[in-house]
Amino acid sequence: MQPTESKNSPFSEADSYSALAPTFSPLYQQIKGLITQSLQSGEWKPGELIPSEMELAARFKVSQGTVRKAIDELSAENLVVRRQGKGTFVATHNEARSQFRFLRLVPDDGERAYPENNIIEVRRLRAPADVARMLELKSGESVVFLKRVQSFSGVPTILEELWLPGAIFKGLTMERLNEYKGPMYALFESEFGTHMIRAQEQIRAVCADQLTAELLVVEPGTPLLSVERVSFTYGDRAVELRRGLYLTSAHHYRNELS
Amino acid sequence: MQPTESKNSPFSEADSYSALAPTFSPLYQQIKGLITQSLQSGEWKPGELIPSEMELAARFKVSQGTVRKAIDELSAENLVVRRQGKGTFVATHNEARSQFRFLRLVPDDGERAYPENNIIEVRRLRAPADVARMLELKSGESVVFLKRVQSFSGVPTILEELWLPGAIFKGLTMERLNEYKGPMYALFESEFGTHMIRAQEQIRAVCADQLTAELLVVEPGTPLLSVERVSFTYGDRAVELRRGLYLTSAHHYRNELS
DNA sequence: CAGTGGTCTAGACCACGCT
DNA sequence: GCGTGGTCTAGACCACTGC
């Protein structure tokens, strides 16, 4: 293992492969890249134990400290989880710990609880232009469309539409979805091998139209939070577009700025 | 410099000060705490250069690597900024780099630009109960109340009310505020010695009431984003309460989930 | 007890910014 | 050329987990 350009190791003897490559990146970044590749390729699946720091150091022929720094960053990005005395695990949505990771709507008072799920509609259709653009597909390619209402202790609060690339989410059925209690990302991960690592949201205020009002059992015109989300899996591939309408009379969207 | 409990250094000879202290924290965390104290006390002011890693290592009698790890975390928390070849600086809001750090409203298309500021009202008054609670004051203590409209290329978009502890923000006047172009936090920092390090927001959708509609030049009933923010300075002291109403017809609140 | 991640040290060299 | 932070290594010991 060598830096992409120039000698970097204290023991580099032969700097004879003099550089053409203009890009330099530190060793630990390259290690991080290699580990990420293994995550992406499925060599280690979500929830599994990855090799110990010593083993990885041996595999890549670098010191343990270098592997450590690579894993530190992966851990900071929530791609892996370290557990002292046990090892390092691939991050998963199938854990109590990550139930609320992507759910920012919290009750104004009272305990946080995961909402009930009510699937209204599941269809396969051709991607409209805007959806295709967001999901990095060609317009007209197959997508899975999904509509659902989520309720907190019986009160309908979130109306959501999802678009997913048809190629990845082939066998997605309403039955499969209704069995599930927790976050949909847990199902996406275990059933379709697609683990979400980050997402980007655009938030607006809108008024409920007629249909929305009926589904959320509010007056038409009620102000709602419009949340449009694009989610990404390994390698920053966009694999989900979500458009949600949140009722914020007893909940709020919480955000931490730093 | 020693860990709070038990020997930790490879060279610790005398472990005769056998522990009563039940709490253990790593050396680098303690160093981090000491550096934070110096930041809080104003030993190094925003924008200033702090001592080099070698100097700090000598001061605290630890290795450079330990100081490095402490500063790494402070840097990750945006309390300091490292610049290779120059040194480590105390983070400041008086920099182009941090203009948009706490402003999450971005235009749907076009370049990001800092909005114009229009102060409507500045008053000293006694803290209402809810405000006092949020700012960790006693009900009735003096606060500065501030109301303003912010416009993007002439279009009024944000209506905001601020409450600030009167004890800290004594000489805050409308003139002072109107001179300023950039983020208010830059002024708070240089004029009142209060540097904001993080904030927490609660977001809802609401409808514009009569007065709001006039100030934002929209129809009453227009849906708006309600953003309530509490900001904190060193030591997690709450020092600002902000209630904003954002017009989201040409802008959106952007958020990154990870 | 062995194995894992977590902390700490010491020393080397690299990349960068300035003078 | 010097001083800064950035990278890399090697080796020691600590804290936690599970056999």
pLDDT in tens, B51-96: 999 999 999 999 999 999 999 999 999 999 999 999 999 999 999 8
Asked, for residue A72, whether it belongs to a domain, the answer is yes
Residues in B touching A104 (Cβ below 8 Å): 255, 257
Query: Which tens digit of pLDDT belongs to each residue from B100-127?
Result: 999 999 999 989 999 999 999 999 999 9
Q: Nearest-CA distance from A187 to chain B in Å?
A: 18
Residue A22, pLDDT above cutoff 60: no
Question: Is pLDDT of A88 > 80?
Answer: yes
- Domain-embedded: residue B207: yes
Has residue B153 been placed in a domain?
Answer: yes
Is A203 in contact with B253 (Cβ distance < 8 A)?
A: yes
Give me the pLDDT at residue B13, please.
33
| Residue A31, domain member (yes or no) | yes
Instruction: Indicate whether A126 and A61 sit together in one domain.
Output: no
> Given this model, what pLDDT does residue A180 score?
81
The CATH number of whichever domain residue B47 belongs to comes to: 1.10.10.10
Distance (Å, whole) CA A81 – CA A31: 17
Domain containing residue B82:
27-90
Which of A37, A57, A90 finishes a domain?
A: A90
Say yes or no: B146 and B236 in one domain.
yes
Output the domain CATH number for residue A220: 3.40.1410.10
Verify that B119 and B200 share a domain, yes or no. yes
**Tokens matching residue B192:** 């009142």
* pTM, to two decimals: 0.91
Record the tokens describing residue B40, joined without a space.
């809080």
- Asked whether residue A226 falls in the same domain as residue A113, the answer is yes
Same-domain pairing of B206 and B104: yes
Whether residues A114 and A58 fall in one domain: no
- Domains: count for chain B: 2
| Average pLDDT over all residues of chain B | 91
A101 and A70, same domain (yes or no): no
**Residue B192 · residue B237 · CB < 8 Å:** no
The verdict on A83 and A198 lying in the same domain is no
**Residue A93: partners with Cβ closer than 8 Å, 6 or more residues away:** A46, A101, A182, A183, A185, A186, A188, A189, A195, A196
Which of B51, B66, B90 terminates a domain? The answer is B90
Q: Which residues pair with B248 in a beta bridge?
A: none
Q: Residue B181: which pLDDT band, with cuts at 50, 70 and 90?
A: confident
3-state secondary structure of A7: coil
Q: Supply the pLDDT for residue B23.
A: 58
Segment B2-18 mean pLDDT: 38
Give the per-residue pLDDT at A23. Answer: 59
Q: What is the mean pLDDT of residues B201-217?
A: 98
Indicate whether A168 belongs to any domain: yes
Query: Quick one: B110 and B237 in the same domain?
Result: yes
Does residue A8 carry a pLDDT above 70? no
Q: Does B57 fall in a domain?
A: yes
Is the residue at A36 inside a domain?
Answer: yes
Could you give the 3-state DSSP secondary structure of residue A68?
Answer: helix
* Distance from the B207 Cα atom to the nearest Cα atom in chain A, whole angstroms: 6
Mark the nucleotides of strand C covered by protein, meaning any atom under 7 Å from a CB.
3-18
Whether residue B249 sits in one domain with residue B134 = yes
| Dihedral angle computed from the Cα positions of residues A169, A173, A179 and A181, in that order, rounded to the nearest 10 degrees | 50
Cβ atoms B222, B208 nearer than 8 A: yes
Q: Tens digits of per-residue pLDDT, A169-209?
A: 998 988 888 888 889 999 999 999 999 999 999 999 999 99
* Domain-embedded: residue B8: no
pLDDT of residue B180: 81
Which residue of B lies nearest to A231 if distances are taken between CA atoms? B257
Angle between helix A64-76 and A53-60 (nearest 10): 120
Give B237's DSSP letter.
E
User: Which pLDDT score is estimated for B51?
Assistant: 97
**Phi, psi (degrees; rounded to nearest 5) at A53:** -55, -40
pLDDT value, residue B179? 82
Domain boundary among B61, B90, B119: B90
Q: Quick one: pLDDT band at residue A20, thresholds 50, 70, 90?
A: very low
